[in-house]
A and B are shown apart, each in its own frame.
Chain A
Amino acid sequence: MEPITGRELVLACSAVGAGLAMIAGIGPGIGQGYAAGKGAESVGRQPEAQGDIVRTMLLGAAVAETTGIYGLIVALILLFANPLIRLLG
């Protein structure tokens, strides 16, 4: 059995941190779902405006996606370009 090095500790914590970062995805999921629901409701009310409704829904959903992407970026950095390791010296 190998001893745990400081480097291993940082990497192990990075694995947990990458997982924790992804929990941010809860927000966009709820928000975009709300937009989808309102979109469906609106198309039912005014089917002739379907194109505009869907466009606005997607635009809003794209904005709602941002924090999920931030979480993904942090997870990917932790996994593939971990800057903490360089600080170990």
Chain B
Amino acid sequence: METSNSIMNFLNYLMTFDRRALILGASAIGAGLAMIAGIGPGVGQGFAAGKGAEAVAKNPDNSKNSTMVMLLGAAVAETSGILSLVVAMIFLFGNPLVDAEGSVLVIAASAIGAGFSMIAGVGPGIGQGYAAGKGTEAVADHPDRQSSIIRTMFLGQAVAQTTGIYALIVTLVLMFGNPLAAISSGGVAVNNIAMILGASAVAAGLAMIAGIGPGVGQGFAAGKGAEAVGINPEAGRVSTMVMLLGAAVAETSGILALVVALILLFGNPLVDDAGSVIVIAASAIGAGFSMIAGVGPGIGQGYAAGKGTEAVAKHPDRQSSIVRTMFLGQAVAQTTGIYALIVSLVLMFGNPLMALAGGGGEINNLAVILGCSAIGAGLAMIAGIGPGVGQGYAAGKGAEAVGINPKSGRVTTMVMLLGAAVAETSGILALVVALILLFGNPLVGQSGSVVVIAMAAVGAGFSMIAGVGPGIGQGYAAGKGTEAVGKRPQYQSAIVRTMFLGQAVAQTTGIYALIISLVLMFANPLLRLV
């Protein structure tokens, strides 16, 4: 089998099946993928149940009300699971794609993309469940403030649902008003445009998975908001406002993912590209993978929003400095999401790989290597989840520290930024690997087995995902360091030294991953074995 033709052979093999069979098969996979969203409500409602049990033990006289709040909150957290169930049922019992007009390849790929998109529901499910748990706890502690606690909980939960709604919209567009199927020509022939449009449909679904982040983060903020209203009802207005402001920032990654998905669906720049079809289609997939990094900033910024809300409720007079620190930390937490967006946009609009590959529909060995490099670049960027979560934790602890001890606000903010800068490392390393694959691709000049070279690019991308760990861990250390300096500024140097030392140790596995990635790209020993 020839390397590059094997891809065409596979697609052509698929086309030998009955048109309806292919679409129904893809629909079955799409229905299954959509149900993965059920992870979210399961985790979230479990948290709520735990808090409910705790609340009843703490305040048995109010057990009826605590249980009611738990059930109300958990009912909201069910939303994403039900939305996914509806999508799966549509696939199974009222499949709109089976009779759709257009290329069978595009329609089948749209079914799979629609399933991927619904996975975003994991986020709202977890987040809203957290809010339900915290609301239950707050009602047990302050039964007289039940109505305002529930109001804040519902408000925050509604915000946490947004990225799940975005995902549902993308899914419904793919199922019922598919713009990609409309511009593809019908029939069973595997043509270039169908390959690009099909890959774009899958990529749009992959990008929406980023919605997990804002869902979790905003839910955390909602929980802290409900708690804050219980602790200090006089500051209820201002703490709710801080919750909404912080949650709005946490929405960023979800919106960026939606924009990328809409570009792929409605203004697809790849369709008219004259470059190699394999590189273009793979670039779409890479662009989708890259956006998954948005999970990190979404969770992290939401955590910061929650801690900011809590701090404002405890120290309403220090609101402005708390919010300032929260925003500053949230901005830092966004960086890896921006890196991912840049890689995604480069792949869609200024793809340097396209210039290297020959034009047209001919699939050659070089195109296969370049296509796999595009996917590898996208995979590497997923590492950005780590710094996003970690820096968000540091931001939350920074806001808290400024609230507790405003006199040492300057020094705590500095420690927060220092620690967060270390936590950025894995995101930068991933960006470097992606940029090498895109702009200085060492694989192009290598001689040897095409499939081994191409898969080295994919492996190099997977390897960098390890960076999620150091990013989260170092961010946690940054947050704890900030907290400690806020409490006892006189021991700043000893605390920061310990923090840095621990962070350096936490970087090791990220370095191992970088080494494997570089070996695969620059000195692949497997090529000698062919």
Chain A interface residues (CB < 8 Å from chain B): 1-5, 7-9, 11-20, 22-41, 43-45, 47, 50, 53-54, 57-58, 61, 65, 68-69, 71-72, 75-76, 79-80, 82, 85
Contacts and interface: CB of A to CB of B under 8 A. Distances in A.
A33 B451 contact: no
Nearest to B469: A29
11 contacts: A7-B530, A23-B463, A29-B506, A29-B507, A29-B510, A33-B475, A33-B503, A39-B498, A43-B498, A50-B494, A71-B512
Contact of B470 (A11, A12, A15, A33): A33
Interface in B410-463: 426, 449-452, 454-456, 458-463
Contacts of A18: 459, 463, 516, 520
A14 B516 CA distance: 12
A17 B503 contact: no
A19 B459 contact: yes
A67 to B, nearest CB: 9
Contact of B512 (A15, A33, A72): A72
Contacts of A40: 477, 480-481, 484, 495-496, 498-499, 502
Interface string B167-195: 00000000000000000000000000000
Contacts of A16: 455, 458-459, 462
Given A1-B4, A41-B480, A13 B529 contact: no
Given A4-B6, A41-B483, A25 B509 contact: yes
Contacts of B452: 8, 11-12, 15
Contact of B465 (A7, A8, A11, A23): A23
Given A36-B474, A43-B494, A19 B505 contact: no
Given A2-B449, A22-B516, A29 B509 contact: yes
B529 A82 contact: yes
A61 B460 contact: no
Interface stretch (B81-89, B332-340, B485-493): B485-493
Contacts of B496: 40
B12 interface: no
B300 interface: no
B370 to A, nearest CB: 15
Contacts of A43: 484, 491, 494-495, 498
A36 B502 contact: yes
B364 interface: yes
B508 interface: yes
B468 interface: yes
B241 interface: no
A43 B467 CA distance: 27
Contact of A32 (B4, B6, B473, B481): B473
B284 interface: no
B526 A82 contact: yes
A14 B526 contact: yes
Interface size on B, as a range, is 35 or more
A44 B495 contact: yes
A22 B229 CA distance: 44
B26 interface: no
B505 A61 contact: yes
A32 B386 CA distance: 14
B458 A15 contact: yes
Contact of A4 (B451, B467, B487, B502): B451
Contacts of A24: 466, 509
A45 to B, nearest CB: 7
Contacts of B462: 16, 19-20, 22-23
Max chain B CB contacts within 10 Å: which of A5, A31, A39, A69?
Answer: A39
B472 interface: yes
A79 to B, nearest CB: 5
Interface in B273-332: none
Contact of A8 (B451, B510, B516): B451
Contacts of A38: 480
B472 A30 contact: yes
A61 B451 contact: no
B468 A29 contact: yes
Contacts of B386: 26, 29
A63 B526 CA distance: 31
B459 A41 contact: no
B513 interface: yes
Given A15-B526, A26-B465, A72 B470 contact: no
A7 B452 CA distance: 10
A12 B454 CA distance: 8
A12 B381 CA distance: 22
Nearest to A33: B473
B488 A44 contact: yes
A26 B459 contact: no
Contacts of A25: 466-467, 469-470, 509-510, 512-513
Contacts of B520: 15, 18-19, 79
A11 B529 contact: yes
